[in-house]
Structure 1
């Protein structure tokens, strides 16, 4: 976990009274609110449709928590996972969201089992042509473009999220600039091509 040099003050709901938490507030928040779905080490849970979060860029994680909280994600009918996340995110302040994101970004990247089959060679070509400019040549993510890591997140989760972008369950809010970009890109590959890309990412993550 990254060392933190400041204290996080969490309001208790009583006017004029605040509780100053320790620098471990992000870990505490994760363990009390997130671990049941995302796993003790943030390794994800495929059975629950929960992605691995460990090792993702902090800025990306913080932004997604804020999007869930502010209605930019998780409000569309049919997004069952988002509907679970939104009320949890609404309990977080900006400081809380940053603390959780910082904690998760400092965790070791997990090993997530692959479940898809496809043509990894074709997927590699498609990935380089359509995805690498933002997400990195090896799926490592790119903070400069606010693009998350795509390896060892969970192939079924990634498959479902691209489908959500296509269906308008993500990227629907005008304030979600990066989501709108992904919504457009999700429509440039068919189902077979998408599966090939995900198999390629599985292989990258196993290296």
Structure 2
């Protein structure tokens, strides 16, 4: 049971929102609200630890935006990135706007993301398959059936920070965020060296 739980929780699963989406409208909203941190093509910004969002699953993006809007994410003191993200998410008018942005991002091709960590990718592959692959897919491609997000082409600095945030309680703190609470527990089962190795493996997949 351990491996599915780890992968399930890293994904922060959620039920897709039943809102019709307009990717063209989402493109305009993204340009007005998000490009300063996430890049013109949603390729991310490692210097800001802003993840690449291009090609990510729409339902996952909707849930994260909803959590920022509702205070289930980004409201904890010490989460500088979350504190920046929360007001941006709240600037979107409603659930329809959230769905539009998510649909636009999901329509974009995967970006090329530079690696910033050096780990043992071969060892990371073993760790990934034992802890993450059941939900996130053997190639880190995500699994829509579980609403488990893609982990490749996101950015290792961002992923590393988020695991650290789960460990410290900056994420997974809200009682309503049941998947985040699971992830908070499971993040503690991976030590720093193992995390870096997993990220190195994901980087190797992103480069293919």
Q: Same fold (TM over 0.5)?
A: yes
Give the total of aligned pairs.
Answer: 189
Larger radius of gyration: 1
SS in structure 2 at match of 1:54 = coil
Tell me how far apart the structure 2 counterparts of residues 78 and 135 of structure 1 sit (CA, whole Å): 28
**How much has 1:171 moved relative to structure 2?**
1.1
Q: Does the residue aligned with 1:197 lie in a helix, a strand or coil?
A: helix
The TM-score normalised by the length of structure 1 is: 0.88
How many Å separate the matches in 2 of 1:141 and 1:180?
20
In 1, Cα distance between equivalents of 2:172 and 2:26 = 27
**RMSD, matched Cα:** 1.5
Per the alignment, residue 162 of structure 1 pairs with 163
Runs of 4 or more consecutive aligned structure 1 residues displaced over 3 Å after TM superposition:
none
Q: List alignment gaps of at least 5 residues for structure 2.
A: 1-18
Gaps of 5+ in 1: 1-5, 9-21
Structure-2-length-normalised TM-score: 0.87
Task: Tell me what 2:177 maps to.
Answer: 176
Q: In structure 1, how many angstroms separate the alpha carbons of the residues matched to 2:49 and 2:20? A: 33
**What residue in structure 2 maps to residue 47 of structure 1?**
47
Higher helix share: 2
Name the CA shift for 1:7/1:194 in 2 (closer, same or farther; >3 Å): closer
For residues 160-204 of structure 1, the C-alpha deviation after alignment (integer angstroms, 9 at most, x for no partner) is 000001111111112112212222221111000000000000001
- The 2-side partners of 1:31 and 1:187 are apart by 37
Contact 2:59 2:147 in 1 (8 A): yes
How far apart in 1 are the matches of 2:192 and 2:23?
44
Larger RCO, structure (CA 8 Å, separation 6 or more): 2
